[in-house]
Amino acid sequence: MIRFVFTAILLILVTACSSIALLPTPELVQKAIALQLEQTQQQLNQQLDLNFQKFNIQRISITQEQPLTIENLPAYRVQGNYDFTIKSQKRSFNQVQKPFEVYLQIQKEGKSWRLLIPEKNRQNSQPKWHSYLII
């Protein structure tokens, strides 16, 4: 009988811990911010003829995780702050407590996450989302 109770408690704990894995982690958010910055960096490099060497994201602080549904899949709107350093050939630039907002969506199988970026300048009430694989 004790084995049965112990097994049931262990099963409940394992199930509870596995559901936590479906929430965005700070590491996932950092990868999403980096991917979003890479998209912006490529556009700036082309438009302004800049050559940023690399950037560094540190001290991510998540202040809000709002669950929602985007295109019939669970997603999260994650907001917070991070510290940011970018290096070019000539100098380095630091910005602290830079606010962020990312939309993250877990895929049906639950093994991968995607960064969702809403298309800008849409007239419709329904935004069109661009999706980028994170992990």
**pLDDT at position 33, please?**
92
Q: For the chain, which residues make up each domain, given as ranges?
A: 22-133
**pLDDT at position 126, please?**
75
d(CA 134, CA 112) in angstroms, rounded, equals: 7
97 to 74, 81, 115: CA distances (angstroms): 28, 5, 21
Series of mean pLDDT values for 10-residue runs along the chain (135 residues): 52 46 86 87 68 79 94 93 84 88 90 89 75 89
Phi-psi region at 113: left, alpha or beta (left = phi > 0; alpha = psi -120 to 50)? beta
**pLDDT at position 48, please?**
67
Residues in the chain, total: 135
Which pair of structure tokens corresponds to residue 56?
A: 């560094």
